[in-house]
Chains A and B, each alone.
Chain A
Amino acid sequence: MALWLYVARRLAVLVPTLFFVSVLIFSLQQLLPGDAAVALAGEENDPTAVAAIRARYHLDRPVPVQYGLWLGRVLVGDFGESLRSRIPVRELLVSKLPVTVELALCSMLIALVIGIPAGIVSATRKGTAVDVVANFFALSGLSVPHFWLGIMLILLFAVRLGWLPASGYVPPWEDLRRNLTTILLPSFVLGTGVAGVMMRHTRSAMLQTLGADYVRTARAKSVPERLVVLKHALRNALIPVITLGAIEFGRLLSGAVLTEQVFAIPGFGKLLVDGVFNRDYAVVQAVVLVSAGLYVLLNLGADVLYFLANPRLRGST
């Protein structure tokens, strides 16, 4: 099957999914207790403000009509404006997203550097103490509440040792060194969880490929063990791991909510939490919608990578 046909088919499935996502996110508004216009106006009890919101969001029209009008605006990138700051939500999204993308990239780097070597070592020494320790750490990375790990690391590296700043964020174009020192701890916190997932998947994929016939053939031909592991087994084991990496990256983009909160990093997650506390519902809806959109696109990216990396899929119809 040609790549373009595969992508076109996957995109065709995405349309109804994204349609239902938009319906779900729009319906959140219906959960607000009482008059939505009063709730949306937040602390402003001014009747003219409430009336303005009712007119702007067409809250006096039937719900399906409201949805149609809302979707029409969202599709052209108009997410409304923040009730708190009066800044268009689109501008807020554009300014916060790069911060979260940087955090996700750094976390992914840490996860790859720890997770994949740990998975390889663990698989090649299955059943030994090294394997048990690696598994224990992987499971710990998956089980630890990341916001608590963040608090503990702040306590150790910022409060006790004074090596790193406790919180805040400096953009890389202002001061790269300070940018890296502020992003290190949160990236490590997020990276450990993903490293655990990566390690476990690399390990099980490596165990499968190490048991495959072609690896036995390579060993029978006296290929050095190092080459067998790294060239023959790892290259094939990495196919599912690459796919997983793309999915995990999507999760990192949206999963940084609490870590951003703990480290006071002005990214996407903090925008969501601030939106929740300011009862800034247009911001909340926009963040959820964009997160879902990015997540779906990264999943599509993962599928495309898998398709490209797996010759058997390309050969099938």
Chain B
Amino acid sequence: MSATPVVLGAPAVAVGRRYKAARQLARRPAAMIALAVILGFVLVALAAPQLAPFDPTAIDYRAVRKAPSAVHPLGTDEVGRDVLSRLLWGARASLLAGVIPVTIAVALSVPLGLLSGYLGGWVDGLIMRINDAMLSIPFLIVAIALAAFLGPGLGNAMIAIGIAALPTFVRLVRGTVLAIKTEEYVEAAQALGCSRRRVALRHILPNTLPPLFIQVSLTVAAAIIAEASLSFLGLGQQPPAPSWGSMLNAAQRYLSQAPWMALYPGLMIFGIVMALNVLGDGLRDVLDPRHQ
């Protein structure tokens, strides 16, 4: 099927549309600032070993709960560890906890959504009933319950968040596939004798990506908050390794003596989540035809 007629050039049209979307996105100052903030967080996470003034796990009992100073710009925690260094290293746990669960959710949901939407019938019925059941348990409750039964730890927390995020993606991919399935270029490809596999992978899959991008951006934000929540409860990152959520857990016990311990980790979570949500809004405005 290498001699592709015009109708089969749909992916090329989609590529053109994507360039147009990128240009439109670049004209939105809020989205561009958000993107810069996100890249800033990624750079900080990557360069944490070079940027951090102290070892994030080094205990110093002579500097317990010291207020911000020239030596420790953001103060120290309950065992004298440098808050700034822990924040910088904590960015790694938070960003990983944003990206890995979403990768798990996308990797599982794309094949499931494609199967469900494209094949229909009993496969669709079974996948969607299980999916509806998962959707009817609130996101954070699924994550807490799974993390509780799997055991505490950052790895298990990420698996739990990924599974909790899965049903939203499956529903989204299936819905998009159902909409695309009846498009003329898909029918034309089928009429020309393309195999079901080729139609699904070459003609339908690429066009499910734009709505997926929007959802990815919003879910990374939700996953970062979920990891912070699980770590705050003690089900995520385990001490002494730093994460913003576990720093807040410790900070809660010293609110009146060391308020700086609680302030900065929360501001970091707020900053990255806000940037991801603004970017998600921008992506929706340029990629979702209903918002244009």
Contacts and interface: CB of A to CB of B under 8 A. Distances in A.
Nearest to A262: B252
A145 B225 contact: yes
B149 A258 contact: no
Contacts of B145: 25, 28, 272, 276, 284, 288
A21 B133 contact: yes
Contact of A17 (B129, B248, B252, B270): B129
A140 B136 contact: no
Q: Chain B binding site: helix, strand, loop or mixed by DSSP?
A: helix
Interface string B111-137: 000000000000000000110111011
B255 A155 contact: yes
A151 B140 contact: no
A17 B255 contact: no
B274 A21 contact: no
Contact of A155 (B137, B142, B262, B273): B262
A199 to B, nearest CB: 14
Interface stretch (B15-23, B197-205, B227-235): B227-235
A296 interface: yes
Nearest to A258: B229
B141 A24 contact: no
B141 A32 contact: no
Contacts of B278: 139
B193 interface: no
A251 B229 contact: no
A147 B277 contact: no
A86 B146 CA distance: 24
Contacts, number: 130
Interface string A253-278: 01101100110000000001101110
A261 B233 contact: yes
B110 interface: no
Contacts of A250: 138
Which 9 pairs from chain A and chain B are nearest by CB?
A20-B133, A148-B266, A143-B274, A276-B148, A31-B149, A254-B138, A143-B273, A292-B137, A21-B133
29 contacts: A20-B129, A23-B133, A24-B134, A28-B145, A139-B274, A142-B277, A143-B277, A145-B269, A145-B270, A145-B273, A148-B228, A148-B266, A148-B269, A149-B266, A151-B262, A151-B266, A152-B266, A155-B259, A251-B138, A254-B138, A257-B144, A272-B141, A273-B233, A276-B145, A276-B148, A291-B137, A291-B141, A295-B137, A296-B136
Interface of A: 16-21, 23-25, 28-29, 31-33, 139-140, 142-145, 147-149, 151-152, 154-155, 159, 250-251, 254-255, 257-258, 261-262, 272-273, 275-277, 281, 284, 287-288, 291-292, 295-296, 299
Given A31-B146, A148-B269, A155-B262, 4 more contacts: A21-B133, A25-B145, A151-B251, A291-B137
